[in-house]
């Protein structure tokens, strides 16, 4: 039904990714919050446009009407308004729910993780926005997913563009939805939708068509600031001015090489009010001739200055900007890579197996492992009274345990434990009182 | 509606607790899995006895009927059967859902975390069971929650006791539920329920009453193994034999001091088949005269050898034993303790604030912080073009940031950065190329 279990191996990959992302969020000084998996239904109503039909409702079993959260942004805004917080930098990693048609081969599920980082507060322009892009850049570089591109645009530039192209105000949002499809379908189809379904004049559509094929950097921003039509539009001018400032900050961060100001980027959600962005992975074509093609979005976000105000009884606004990392697609890519490489992923961290070479030594194994646990050593035994030594060694091979501590009659008499290195098969007797130190030393590089 | 947000401060406490628990689970060689937050409704049906009415159902919006998980044990059993896994040691930390009357002051919510550790597989008797108790002992010791007691019993001993006391087979489960209330209400009330509501003879109830007041250690086990009635009952004899073995293993682990074989322990859930246990915190009375009183259960579990078979089409059994840590009650206790102690909890890990003493240095701050982030240093700036130095220093005081890296005109000329220790207010100029090393060194002990 569109959800999945995570096996220990998948969890090991997932934890690597989470660790990289959480380290980055913490590096940028973020706090962490958590919110419930369900919200009042009314909290989610009217926030997601056409996608509202994908919300999961709980059965009315008496009490309030509840829905499973659709993203982490709306609960965050509700949290800020409810607690009158006007200033916070937080991350939140949790599952969200959509009654979508699952496409499990492409890493799309009805239950999936989102990793969100947001900065809320009244600040000087574009500084937090630039930090969000720096974060995307750091995470995608760190995860070594291959080449990527971060597309940037601004809702005000889009709205200004629609205005100067002759789109009526009432059609801004729906035409914006059409533009949003440009990463998946060619311009001709999008134009047909605008003209055929949405009743836009072909001339207006063609004027949009010219703008949305533009992409570049500071040079394009300067060019559009000189554009006779756009420069006359107040919104577009504001958006372009901020875009210029953003690129100046990104230049200081040294990351403009992977950032493209792209007039075709629209993003679906209603609540964005300023800068928007989306990161895509690029896949080099096999023949190395064509341009790299996008294989899908792995992060996205933008500025939403009006959302918190929707939850405040007095409508007080808290400006916000944030980014969401598309963790499920990243999992899929890394899972496939692990499968292909036949890399062995350890699913436990056990440092030592406590084993015995003869029978009737369960009590001695239990005493020794108890000492190791109490000293903080990660240790296992086989749950058998009289396991064969071969089975114990095989267990280490299979699960990647690097050391075996072997107790036997002779070792007990001599006050030692035989410590075996599973990889090299070397064995040395270690005095019992030195065993813990020896295990720590041998496994500290791992 | 019986759920709650977690603030950054609460999350910081929560992460401490999770870290202690996860470290323990990993020390014992556990893998980790995850399952979806909702299951097919039929998966949960018939597993929880009377408590089934507390299950949250999703609204029927087309497709399968789904329910939010009630615990992590049933999804685990479903996962094992579905994937034909006969052998695994895993932990799972996730939220579960119950339509209970929330009692938020006592740390009871409708959405709450469970931390489960389970060992599945056909093993020699009582070795995994003993490890589960060792784990409870390690976690409760590690978290320093005060004195605690782990009560242990066995469903087979209970059933044997019911049989020899003259309880008809058909009433075993319901009389077991009555016994389960003994930690909250006095024996007289429980007896009234057994006789009045459940139609047990007063004589049978009195015989039960004599058994359920017994608690002790190996001596009590030996005594009951000699009990003329109990020793004649096959189930009780099996249970007592295993209990003896368990206590021998617990003696090797050195933890019998906090473990009590207690015939009044019953536990509510239907699926237990062997050993059961429950850990309670003890609170010393103020006058230090009376016995310590229990302030509630913080961990519980037991053996459930039949549950996996309920999900296997051929009914193949996988014996399981596990423990669940009652994390929410532990949070409440630690939160109250932090409140009372006025201990300052840091909610970020930021090592250094990049600040400036004069105006017009935003660009320099951005350049420097970018270098620090790229070197893995946890750093923040204020999102203002020209922040006052005083405000920057105050921000460090409030949030516990230990260092400030100050750039100014003179420092830039000299190729240095002024590094200030927030606690001592000492300032030294550090050559820019040595800054990262210096910050690492100064914060490595933190």
Point out the residue among B1, B27, B379 whose CB comes nearest to the CB of A378: B27
Report strand pairing: B215-216 vs B379-380: unpaired
User: Containing H/E element for B396?
Assistant: helix B389-399
Is A135 in contact with A25 (CB distance < 8 Å)? yes
Give the other-Cβ count within 10 Å of B164's Cβ: 21
Measured in angstroms, the CA of A246 and the nearest CA of chain B are apart by 12
Q: Is the dihedral of CA B230, B236, B241, B246 positive or negative?
A: negative
DSSP-derived letter for residue B109 is -
Is A111 in contact with B36 (CB distance < 8 Å)? yes
**Strand residues in B41-147 grouped as ranges (E):** 66-68, 88-97, 111-120
Q: Is the pLDDT of residue A344 over 80?
A: yes
Point out the residue among B15, B253, B367 whose CB comes nearest to the CB of A252: B367
Buried b (16+ CB within 10 A) or exposed e, A282-305: beeeeeeeeebebeeebbbbbbbb
User: Containing H/E element for B336?
Assistant: helix B327-341
DSSP-derived letter for residue A286 is T
| Residue A8 contacts B, CB cutoff 8 Å | yes
| Residue B31 contacts A, CB cutoff 8 Å | yes
Q: Could you give all domains of chain A from N- to C-terminal order, each with its CATH number?
A: 8-341 (3.30.930.10), 352-443 (3.40.50.800)
A-chain residues near B26 (CB < 8 A) = 348-349, 378
Point out the residue among A40, A123, A138 whose CB comes nearest to the CB of B373: A138
- Alpha carbon distance A211, B380 (integer Å): 37
User: How many CB pairs below 8 A link A and B?
Assistant: 195
- A-proximal residues of B, 46-65, CB under 8 Å: 56-61, 63-64
Task: Inspect the interface and report whether the beta carbons of B119 and A383 lie closer than 8 Å.
Answer: yes
User: Containing H/E element for B273?
Assistant: none
Strand order in A215-216's β-sheet?
A31-32, A88-97, A111-120, A320-325, A293-303, A275-283, A148-154, A259-262, A215-216
- Find tokens 């001091």 and name the residue: B257
Q: pLDDT tens across A132-190, in order? A: 999 999 999 999 999 999 999 999 999 999 999 999 999 998 899 899 888 889 999 99
Coil, strand or helix at A309: helix
Task: Inspect the interface and report whether the beta carbons of B379 and A29 lie closer than 8 Å.
Answer: yes
Is A138 in contact with A24 (CB distance < 8 Å)? yes
B184: left (phi over 0), alpha (psi -120 to 50) or beta: alpha
Which DSSP string corresponds to A92-139? EEEEEE-----BGGGTB-SEEEEEEEEEES--STTHHHHHHHHHHHHH
Q: What is the pLDDT of residue B288?
A: 47
Q: Residue A262, annotated ligand binder?
A: no
A54, A59, A133, A371: best mutation site toward chain B, by most B Cβ within 10 Å? A59
Give the distance, in angstroms, between the CA of residue A105 and the centroid of all CA atoms in the same chain: 18
- Give the residue numbers of the binding site of B for L-histidine: 71-73, 98, 114, 118, 267, 271-272
Q: Which two tokens stand for residue A268?
A: 């679906």
Q: What is the pLDDT of residue B420?
A: 98
Question: Which residues 6+ apart lie within 8 Å of A214 measured at CB?
Answer: A220, A224, A262, A263
Report strand pairing: A148-154 vs A259-262: parallel
| Residue B128 contacts A, CB cutoff 8 Å | yes
Task: Inspect the interface and report whether the beta carbons of A59 and B57 lie closer than 8 Å.
Answer: yes
B10, B366, B407: best mutation site toward chain A, by most A Cβ within 10 Å? B366
Task: Inspect the interface and report whether the beta carbons of B32 and A8 lie closer than 8 Å.
Answer: yes
- Alpha carbon distance A156, A273 (integer Å): 7
- Alpha carbon distance B112, B327 (integer Å): 8
| Residue A172 contacts B, CB cutoff 8 Å | no
- Alpha carbon distance B41, B64 (integer Å): 8
A-chain residues near B128 (CB < 8 A) = 383
Task: Inspect the interface and report whether the beta carbons of A134 and B370 lie closer than 8 Å.
Answer: yes
| Residue B142 contacts A, CB cutoff 8 Å | no
Q: Give the pLDDT of chain B (446 residues) as one tens digit per residue.
A: 678 899 999 999 999 999 999 999 999 999 999 999 999 999 998 888 777 888 999 888 777 899 999 999 999 999 999 999 999 999 999 999 998 776 655 556 889 999 999 999 999 999 999 999 999 999 999 999 999 999 999 999 999 999 999 999 999 988 998 998 888 899 999 999 999 999 999 999 999 999 999 999 999 999 999 999 999 999 999 999 999 999 999 999 999 999 999 999 998 777 899 999 999 999 755 544 444 555 678 999 999 999 999 999 998 999 999 999 989 889 988 988 888 888 889 999 999 999 998 889 999 999 999 999 999 999 999 999 999 999 999 999 999 999 999 999 999 999 999 999 999 999 999 999 999 999 999 998 64
Instruction: Tell me the angle at which helices A8-27 and A127-142 cross, rounded to the nearest 10 degrees.
Output: 140
Task: Inspect the interface and report whether the beta carbons of A378 and B11 lie closer than 8 Å.
Answer: no
């Amino acid at each position: 039904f569109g959800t999945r279990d995570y096996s220990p191996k998948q969890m090991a990959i997932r934890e690597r990714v989470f660790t990289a992302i959480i380290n980055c969020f913490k590096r940028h000084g973020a706090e962490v919050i958590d919110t419930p998996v369900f919200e009042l239904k009314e909290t989610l109503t009217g926030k997601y446009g056409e996608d509202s039909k994908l919300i999961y409702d709980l059965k009315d079993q008496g009490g309030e009407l509840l829905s499973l959260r659709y993203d982490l942004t709306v609960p965050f805004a509700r949290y800020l308004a409810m607690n009158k917080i006007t200033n916070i930098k937080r991350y939140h990693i949790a599952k969200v729910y959509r009654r979508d048609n699952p496409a499990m081969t492409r890493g799309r599920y009805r239950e999936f993780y989102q990793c969100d980082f947001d900065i809320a507060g009244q600040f000087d322009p574009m500084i937090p926005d630039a930090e969000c892009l720096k974060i995307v850049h750091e995470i995608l570089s760190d995860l070594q997913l291959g080449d990527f591109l971060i597309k940037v645009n601004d809702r005000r530039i889009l709205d200004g563009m629609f205005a100067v192209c002759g789109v009526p105000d009432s059609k801004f949002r729906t035409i914006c939805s059409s533009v949003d499809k440009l990463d998946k379908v060619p311009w001709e189809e999008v134009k047909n939708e605008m003209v055929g379904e949405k009743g836009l004049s072909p001339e207006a559509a063609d004027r949009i068509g010219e703008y949305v094929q533009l992409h570049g950097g500071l040079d394009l921003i300067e060019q559009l600031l000189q554009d006779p039509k756009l420069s006359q539009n107040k919104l577009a001018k504001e958006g372009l001015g901020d875009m210029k400032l953003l690129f100046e900050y990104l230049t200081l961060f040294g990351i403009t090489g992977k950032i493209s100001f792209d007039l075709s980027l629209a993003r679906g959600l209603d609540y964005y009010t300023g800068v928007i962005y989306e990161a895509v992975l690029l896949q080099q074509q096999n023949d190395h001739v064509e341009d790299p093609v996008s294989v899908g979005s792995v992060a996205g976000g933008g500025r939403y200055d009006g959302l918190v105000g929707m939850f405040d009884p007095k409508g007080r606004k808290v400006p916000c900007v944030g980014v969401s990392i598309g963790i499920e697609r990243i999992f899929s890519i890394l899972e496939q890579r692990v499968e292909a490489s036949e890399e062995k992923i350890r699913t436990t961290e056990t440092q030592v197996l406590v084993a015995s070479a003869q029978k009737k030594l369960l009590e001695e194994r239990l005493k020794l492992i108890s000492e190791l646990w109490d000293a903080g050593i990660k240790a296992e035994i086989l749950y058998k009274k009289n396991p064969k030594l071969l089975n114990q060694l095989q267990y280490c091979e299979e699960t990647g345990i690097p050391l075996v501590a072997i107790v036997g009659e002779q070792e007990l008499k001599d006050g030692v434990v035989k410590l075996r290195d599973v990889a090299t098969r070397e064995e040395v007797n270690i005095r019992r009182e030195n065993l813990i130190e020896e295990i720590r030393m041998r496994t500290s590089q791992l």
